[in-house]
A and B are shown apart, each in its own frame.
Chain A
């Protein structure tokens, strides 16, 4: 079986690259295609020869201006020769899933999210543009939405990286995806016998991660907070930080492990599609205090009424006050969080689980393609949920 993996770009380590790392390890014979690649920063285990870049990669400075040349992506994606593959797994940011495979090729798209600047965040994105760029973006985005929607219709099987993203796929593409959580190196976590008195935050220091909330809440409660990560907002965040806040910048993975394993709890206030760091913290047996929206609703277990199996706490509003209340609530019941239970939960998101599920999915998809040449589309979910006419009118 000839397999191709199509990814958007390799320009640094993010969640998407971890997915490719796992897929590349699962299918060592697979060819990897992408728009751009920084050959120095390929994921572990992927050799330079395996990666084929689009023509855009040859443009000088293309790595730096990658987002600005978005309009040329679809042409570049169309230039990949994918005709000889039996299976293509695409890792989608638009328009990667817009590849046109031949009729016998099975195309599975692992969707990190429908491009948010095109869909749910389009108004916010437009507002940030200078006025003269807005009509240009509006026209481009309108066309891109059509191609994105149409491209999603010709993918054979869609996989969403969380139930949260699955809902977004249903809404904007009107297709029913499977859900397979992205791979986290949970098995590398460990339990530490030593516990220190600090809360931890890990992540890029950018606006939508809402690290400002963590700082304000810890300022107010005078709790120690250790912040790992760098980013555009570093200066602004340092300006509001009180004496109990500590910025560590970038740390080595050994040191990060130490930090994770000894913290009182991991604080997480952003609305993420999945949220890998919060699972990483749990893999070290540490509880998570997270904003109760998006991926955290799936990665943090809070459903147990006794509380013995909970792996963290959720807070309902993205405000410092609400987080401060949650921290106090956490401190009053800290004893009930059991590190081994938390780690056990994190292991359900381990790379091995991802690989197992993907491989099972691929087997099913390939079997179905070969035994059932005519694929019947499932009914669209929303339509079948519409109550019958007489039900609505209150008639028998």
Chain B
């Protein structure tokens, strides 16, 4: 584990953890849970909170919401309050804290810290709606709202850029995000992959004959590609998850496609453990589901873009075994071709080896890397 005062007199170090909002349970919230595990004394600050959506650990210790949380309907309208985020974050008084870890997302990097406070920003992604997806996003808005958004986004971008410069250390959740941080904030960062909890037993050869995908059924997850490809090949596809697109996806699904809806943890382990392969067509910043599938020793057939390029090992320069197959274009044809390719080499994948690879993304690895990094950072701050 790390060095510096953070080990020797941790009791004296006051820690604050900042997270944009607790309005759903996603990868970002999971990171906060794990961070709280590392720093049990930490105070947690956020813009908005929906108490129902807090994990049990967080609910019992409480989080400090910003003044914006008091707005009526704030949990539904939180995106529209975006022009006020800088104000809400800058008015936080963090002068009592020696270590501030901001998990962002939008705006959280802009908190004001004392001169000798160490501020580490764990970046999930620059807020996509006003950085990389800005053009698409603003075009979807109705004209009067669009004008307002364009103006507010310009101000918030300037503010976020300047704010990011005063963060002491930036940590990105993947190389993919590190590139984005460099592009938009001109900051170099270190990569620490987010924690994925691995609750699987030993990896066993699969005895199912189906492909699996897990995730919210939303447009950008591109589950439609998976369905079309399996329709075409007549392969069995099991889909776990619910979402806005469910109806549409069911309407295009052929007889070999099976929708399981929401699946509880034990049942999902069974599904993961017995699939032929996990299929994944989304562009994710990181992508937890493919890692989970690999933790069960299952190979992944994924669109070769974004986080998947880092979580799935293909053509390793050191010659280690592949843990999946990529398809180069986000199209049905490309996936069909990849499934053919996969089925030819299916028995060459070694479950134990895939599971070993997935350990790189284990919660334990995250905790060790983060503790170590913060240790380095605090030691240097006091030089």
**Chain A residues in contact with chain B, CB under 8 A?**
119-120, 122-124, 126-127, 134-135, 138-139, 141-142, 145-146, 149-150, 167-168, 171-174, 382-383, 385-387, 389, 392-394
Task: Contact check, A383 vs B166: say whether CB atoms are below 8 A apart.
Answer: no
- Could you tell me if B162 and A386 are in contact, using CB atoms closer than 8 angstroms? no
The stretch among B15-23, B83-91, B325-333 that forms the contact with chain A is B83-91
Q: Is the CB of A138 within 8 A of B380?
A: no
Q: Are B166 and A385 in contact (CB under 8 A)?
A: no
Q: How far is the CA of A385 from the CA of B190 in the complex (A)?
A: 11
Contact A146 B159, beta carbon cutoff 8 Å: yes
B87 with A142: CB separation less than 8 A: yes
Contact assessment for B369 and A392 in the assembled complex, using a CB-CB cutoff below 8 Å: yes
Inter-chain CA distance A386–B170, complex, in Å, is 9
Chain B residues closer than 8 Å to A134, beta-carbon distance: 91
> Which of chain B's residues have a CB closer than 8 A to the CB of A138?
87, 90-91
Shortest CB distance A73–B (Å)? 19
Are A386 and B190 touching (Cβ within 8 A)? Answer: yes
Contact in complex: B115, A120 (CB < 8 Å): yes
A-B contact pairs, 29 of them (CB 8 A): A119-B112, A119-B115, A120-B114, A122-B90, A122-B112, A123-B93, A123-B94, A124-B95, A134-B91, A135-B87, A138-B91, A139-B87, A142-B87, A142-B90, A145-B90, A149-B165, A171-B115, A171-B166, A171-B168, A174-B165, A174-B166, A386-B169, A386-B190, A387-B373, A392-B190, A392-B192, A392-B369, A392-B372, A393-B365
Chain A residues within 8 Å of B115, by CB: 119-120, 167-168, 171-172
Contact with A along B148-171 (1 / 0, CB 8 A): 000000000011001001101100
Cα distance A65–B377 in the bound complex, in angstroms: 43
Query: Which of these, B91, B114, B116, B169, contacts A382 with CB under 8 Å?
Result: B169
Cα A135 to Cα B169 with chains together (Å): 30
Asked if B336 lies at the interface with its beta carbon under 8 angstroms from chain A, I say no
B376 interfacial by beta-carbon distance below 8 Å: yes
- B56-69 CB mask vs A (1 if < 8 Å, else 0) is 00000000000000
Q: How far is the CA of A392 from the CA of B114 in the complex (A)?
A: 26
**Are A386 and B91 closer than 8 Å at their CB atoms?**
no
From DSSP, what is the main secondary structure of chain B's interface residues?
A: mixed
Shortest distance between the CB of A326 and any CB in chain B (Å): 22
Task: Return chain B residues, CB-CB under 8 Å to A139.
Answer: 87
Name which residue of chain B comes closest to A175, CB basis: B165
Which A residues are in CB contact (< 8 Å) with B168? 171, 382
Chain B residue at minimum C-beta to C-beta distance from A172: B166
Interface size class on chain B is 20 to 34
Using CB atoms, name the residue of chain A closest to B175: A389
Interface residues of B (CB under 8 A from A): 86-87, 90-91, 93-95, 112, 114-116, 158-159, 162, 165-166, 168-169, 187-192, 365, 368-369, 372-373, 376, 380
Shortest beta-carbon distance from B97 to chain A in Å: 11
Q: Is the CB of B369 within 8 A of A393?
A: yes
17 more A-B contacts (CB under 8 A) besides A145-B162, A173-B165, A394-B372? A120-B112, A123-B94, A126-B91, A126-B93, A138-B91, A142-B90, A146-B162, A171-B168, A174-B166, A382-B169, A383-B187, A385-B380, A386-B189, A387-B373, A392-B190, A392-B373, A392-B376
| Contact residues in A for B165 (Cβ distance below 8 Å) | 149, 173-174
Q: Smallest CB–CB gap between A139 and chain B, Å?
A: 7
Residues of B within 8 A of A141 (CB): 90
Which residues of chain B have C-beta atoms less than 8 A from A174's C-beta? 165-166
Assuming the A-B contacts A149-B166, A393-B369, are A387 and B190 also in contact, with contact meaning beta carbons closer than 8 angstroms in the complex? yes
Q: Known A171-B166, A382-B169; judge A389-B159 contact (CB<8 A).
A: no
Point out the residues of chain A lying under 8 angstroms from B189, CB to CB.
386
Q: Which residue in chain A gives the minimum CB-CB distance to B372?
A: A392
- Closest A residue by C-beta to B116: A167
B87: chain A residues within 8 A (beta carbon): 135, 138-139, 142
Pick from B159, B187, B190 the residue with the most CB of A within 10 Å.
B190
Contacting residue for B86 out of A135, A142, A385, CB 8 A:
A142
Q: Chain A contacts of B116 at CB under 8 A? A: 167
